[in-house]
Structure 1
Amino acid sequence: MTEYGKTLAPSPTSIPGLVVWELPVHGDNRGWFKENWQREKMTAAGLPDFGPVQNNISFNDAVGTTRGIHAEPWDKFVSVAAGRIFGAWVDLREGPTFGAVFTCELDPSRAIFVPRGVGNAYQTLEPDTAYTYLVNDHWSPDASYTFLNLADETAAIAWPIPLDQAELSAKDAAHPRLADVTPVPQRTTLVLGANGQLGRALRTELGDAAHIEYVTRADLDLASPTLASARRWRDYDTIVNAAAYTAVDAAETVDGRRDAWAANVTGVAALSRVARENGITLVHVSSDYVFDGVLDRAYREDDPVCPLGVYGQTKAAGDALVSAVPRHYVVRTSWVIGDGKNFVRTMASLAERGVDPRVVDDQIGRLTFTDDLARGIHHLLSTHAPFGTYNLTSSGEPASWADIARRVFELTGHDPARVTGVSTDEYFASATAPVAPRPRNSVLDLARIGASGFDLTDQGDALARYLN
């Protein structure tokens, strides 16, 4: 019997992500009315904004009609339009809850959200039952489907009507037992720019699990007109964009400007479209160069962007594109140091070779080491931090490039007084090639990433660790 007057409310189950929803049904002498799925109210109450693309209805005219157990590679919101069913759900995803079972009855006043990879089955308890479900992907012959036998002894589902007295298909009756089921794998995390300095750090941080895919531009070209069909994107959960055009000075040339816009804007636009259309979380690495560096305080995430040069303009444009993706993290960083040629290694080499460098002393900021940057990205993803923009650098007292150079000399056993500080204008006075304007203040406020629970690394400690 449909229950009237309920309050919209979710009830988590023993299977992670499987949530029963009590639905308000309004009835009178004419019948009843309900909002079967109401995006605004339900997402506010905790339902994932799963983006349904199809609405299916299964009509069953006889009591005891039994269907399942089917696990598809998409999410479902299941409800009953008429009648009543006994539902059974079995977790067929790889992981510690594989084989977990949950059962309950559904009628028009109760629905359930079924996450990808959880097997769905039901048995009708009333004649003329209409079973409905919203799904967030279209059926595809390329998709992987997983099934479990309705009579599996391990699941041991207590069907109200014994299966030998129920109406079921020969195909459902022939599905495998749990011991023979291949678990549904996790959705894939794709890391772009896998051979760059951040990409290599992400390999170390995220590891080589089967659901992590590392690619270079040779493997996946964001400029390709076939990008939308280059992967079965609904099988992907996260894309980490560690690829970018970063030749700051070269971006001021005719060819460099074209290449910077192609990689940092056009490619990011295509990637954002893929993420938006397939419910993928997009992680995008940004830069302090989106700011002009004139503030006398650290830059916060919500400060207006005001880039000085072409590189900064392309990064600011990319940030805006990514920010339109519902599930996104823009990770803004500065002065990145990783595996490969970089400022710290150059200073250490000069110190060792007896060269006394002139280094700019009017640009102030903090270093960011790629292992910390990779760790911070992993933290945001694993803790499901609120989506949005996060500044992420080392912590500690800001310093100039000259200050850092002197510290490198000191840590490598050389006299820091060998480093001479000069202004940016002096340093580039004799340059013959185009030089990009630099923000003088590159200090980023770290309050938000700290509040998320991330353990920030002191700049001085990180530098000493890097050199050792």
Structure 2
Amino acid sequence: MSIEFSKPLTATETPIPGVVLFDLPVHGDNRGWFKENWQREKMLAVALPDFKPVQNNVSFNEKAGTTRGIHAEPWDKFISVATGKIFGAWVDLRQGPTFGNVFTATLDASQAIFIPRGVGNAFQTLEDNTAYTYLVNDHWSADAQGQYTFLNLADETAAIQWPIPLSQAELSDKDKAHPRLSQVIPMPPRMTLVLGANGQLGKALREAYKDDLSVEFAGRAEFDLDSKEAFASRNWKNYDTLINAAAYTAVDAAETAYGRRAAWQTNVAGVARLAQLAVEHDLTLVHVSSDYVFDGTEETHTEEEPFSPLGVYGQTKAAGDAVVSVVPKHYIVRASWVIGDGKNFVTTMAGLAADGVKPTVVNDQVGRLTFAQDIATTIRHLLKVTPAYGTYNLSNSGASQSWAEIAAEVYALVGASATDVSGASTEEYFRGKPAAPRPRKSTLDLAKLRGTGYDPVPARHRLGSLLKSDVQK
């Protein structure tokens, strides 16, 4: 076998998304040759996904013309030739616009190819005593065979030009019986699971993903973060993303003995189990944070500001953020002053205006509203664009305001007088009432998020839309 020595490590994209062909550096002399068949650090630098292989298999074929496939498996594979030469054929059998795309190549020991889950692969040996090896990122099991997708080697649509005609090749009876492309049921994508799907953010996520069948929603009844049993209730190999919209958010109740335990249980212990799950199964974990992780002494909070929570709720959110940050693939979306479907500050103020009430509202806490629909849109944007993993601040755009200024704006928008709203300091407003400490300055810096190509909608625009729709109900 003639092998080209000392080629640089290079990666070539193919017509099938995610399928990458590699040229491997092979070093040899009169004694033979040596190659780094799989070198994680170098290959990550030239487009190999960090797919975390757990099993190494070798297929030996005694005779040229041995042909295997076309099999699409529910895991990723990194395939290379150990000895001999093969003709490889790959067909995209995944659900989506590239279903049926074909790529073929001849591989010797100086090449390798990465095949993502759901792409059918087939090999025909071109020399006697050919062996190829493949790394996979899941353990083979008899149960997994039920998740395979197959295509007939002789499918007319794929029209693969086999170097050795199939009539002269060595095939198994099973491979001969596989369906044509028109009869193949495409392999569905891995699922996204939204937790806390019945809350304000959960409802917004339901709306954002209403047309995406790969997104599954679970309320507390279907998946309770506080239940260890819930974490054993699913086959996590079928998922690639977790969106955690579940949280304990009763800021004042968190200061009580019962609330303190409940907040730590959900916001920290439950999140820690999610983080462990994400690490074990290589999932992307999306988690929603809060401006309450800060003490509010800075005029504007960046993602790099150290945690300085004032109360129990903020402490549990900061602890949850710290846990999520160790997950290799994570997005923390830190939001302030969330407004979602159902009872919230805006609808409460609108109701008071309709009733002719002249409320007193806190005027020394300053920040920006974040509408739940924009949190959902931001999450979808991050998962689609996949910028660097980490924390991203989010609020709606516009000038920072106090709660009293927002209330006055609501009054004006619904036709009442803005002067009906009077202001009071936090100390005055909560005097004699059990209340958690609150950050006085909650304005979040949005530069990092804008750098991903997402520009938040102005808060005034969302405020007007919400009040208009509320009136129409």
* Fold equivalence (TM over 0.5): yes
Aligned-residue RMSD, C-alpha: 1.1
Once the 2 structures are TM-superposed, how far is the Cα of residue 206 of structure 1 from its aligned partner? Answer: 1.1
Listed one character per residue, the Cα deviations across residues 193-245 of structure 1 (whole Å, up to 9, x for unaligned) are 11111111111111143211011111112333344432111211211111111
Match of residue 407, structure 1, among 391, 406, 409:
409
Once the 2 structures are TM-superposed, how far is the Cα of residue 272 of structure 1 from its aligned partner? Answer: 1.1
**Could you say what secondary structure the match of 2:202 adopts?**
helix
Residue identity matched to 1:441? K
- Structure 2 counterparts to residues 45-60 of structure 1, below 5 A: 45-60=46-61
Listed one character per residue, the Cα deviations across residues 26-71 of structure 1 (whole Å, up to 9, x for unaligned) are 1122211111111111112221111111111111111111111110
Distance in 2 (alpha carbons) for counterparts of 1:131 and 1:34: 14
Distance in 1 (alpha carbons) for counterparts of 2:227 and 2:129: 50
**Could you say what secondary structure the match of 2:409 adopts?**
helix
Distance in 2 (alpha carbons) for counterparts of 1:138 and 1:226: 23
Once the 2 structures are TM-superposed, how far is the Cα of residue 6 of structure 1 from its aligned partner? Answer: 0.9
Aligned to 1:306: 308
Distance in 1 (alpha carbons) for counterparts of 2:155 and 2:230: 41
Aligned to 1:437: 437
Distance in 2 (alpha carbons) for counterparts of 1:162 and 1:352: 80
Aligned to 1:225: 228
Distance in 2 (alpha carbons) for counterparts of 1:194 and 1:448: 27
Once the 2 structures are TM-superposed, how far is the Cα of residue 419 of structure 1 from its aligned partner? Answer: 1.1
Aligned to 1:463: 463
- Structure 2 counterparts to residues 383-394 of structure 1, below 5 A: 383-394=385-396
Preserved CA contact (<8 Å) 1:396 1:459: yes
Q: 1:116 to 1:312 in 2, by over 3 A?
A: same
Once the 2 structures are TM-superposed, how far is the Cα of residue 385 of structure 1 from its aligned partner? Answer: 2.0
Match of residue 197, structure 1, among 200, 203, 206:
200
Unaligned runs of 5+ in 2: 469-473
Once the 2 structures are TM-superposed, how far is the Cα of residue 366 of structure 1 from its aligned partner? Answer: 0.1
Preserved CA contact (<8 Å) 1:205 1:371: yes
Residue identity matched to 1:371? Q
Aligned to 2:102: 101
Listed one character per residue, the Cα deviations across residues 385-410 of structure 1 (whole Å, up to 9, x for unaligned) are 22111001001100000110110111
Distance in 2 (alpha carbons) for counterparts of 1:188 and 1:179: 25
Distance in 2 (alpha carbons) for counterparts of 1:36 and 1:253: 58
Once the 2 structures are TM-superposed, how far is the Cα of residue 136 of structure 1 from its aligned partner? Answer: 0.8
Q: Does 1:14 align with 2:12?
A: no
- Structure 2 counterparts to residues 3-402 of structure 1, below 5 A: 3-143=4-144, 144-295=147-298, 297-402=299-404
**Could you say what secondary structure the match of 2:91 adopts?**
strand
Once the 2 structures are TM-superposed, how far is the Cα of residue 446 of structure 1 from its aligned partner? Answer: 0.2
Distance in 2 (alpha carbons) for counterparts of 1:398 and 1:287: 16
Distance in 1 (alpha carbons) for counterparts of 2:304 and 2:142: 45
Q: 1:334 to 1:79 in 2, by over 3 A?
A: same
Listed one character per residue, the Cα deviations across residues 435-458 of structure 1 (whole Å, up to 9, x for unaligned) are 111011100000011111113111
Distance in 2 (alpha carbons) for counterparts of 1:278 and 1:196: 26
Residue identity matched to 1:268? V
Distance in 2 (alpha carbons) for counterparts of 1:187 and 1:411: 44
Distance in 1 (alpha carbons) for counterparts of 2:238 and 2:10: 29
Residue identity matched to 1:12? E
Aligned to 1:425: 427
Once the 2 structures are TM-superposed, how far is the Cα of residue 139 of structure 1 from its aligned partner? Answer: 2.1
Percentage identity across aligned positions?
65
Distance in 2 (alpha carbons) for counterparts of 1:215 and 1:193: 6
Once the 2 structures are TM-superposed, how far is the Cα of residue 356 of structure 1 from its aligned partner? Answer: 1.2
Distance in 2 (alpha carbons) for counterparts of 1:353 and 1:223: 40
Preserved CA contact (<8 Å) 1:234 1:279: no
Residue identity matched to 2:452? S
Residue identity matched to 2:446? L
Distance in 2 (alpha carbons) for counterparts of 1:80 and 1:317: 47
Q: 1:442 to 1:18 in 2, by over 3 A?
A: same
Preserved CA contact (<8 Å) 1:223 1:270: no
**Could you say what secondary structure the match of 2:412 adopts?**
helix
Aligned to 1:454: 454
Residue identity matched to 1:333? A
Once the 2 structures are TM-superposed, how far is the Cα of residue 265 of structure 1 from its aligned partner? Answer: 0.7
**Could you say what secondary structure the match of 1:139 adopts?**
coil
**Which 4+ residue blocks in structure 1 deviate beyond 6 angstroms?**
none
Distance in 2 (alpha carbons) for counterparts of 1:225 and 1:345: 37
Distance in 2 (alpha carbons) for counterparts of 1:229 and 1:34: 41
Q: When the two structures are superposed, what TM-score results if normalisation uses the length of structure 1?
A: 0.97
Listed one character per residue, the Cα deviations across residues 71-91 of structure 1 (whole Å, up to 9, x for unaligned) are 011111111111110000000
Distance in 1 (alpha carbons) for counterparts of 2:174 and 2:332: 47
Q: When the two structures are superposed, what TM-score results if normalisation uses the length of structure 2?
A: 0.96
**Could you say what secondary structure the match of 2:463 adopts?**
helix
Distance in 2 (alpha carbons) for counterparts of 1:140 and 1:381: 30
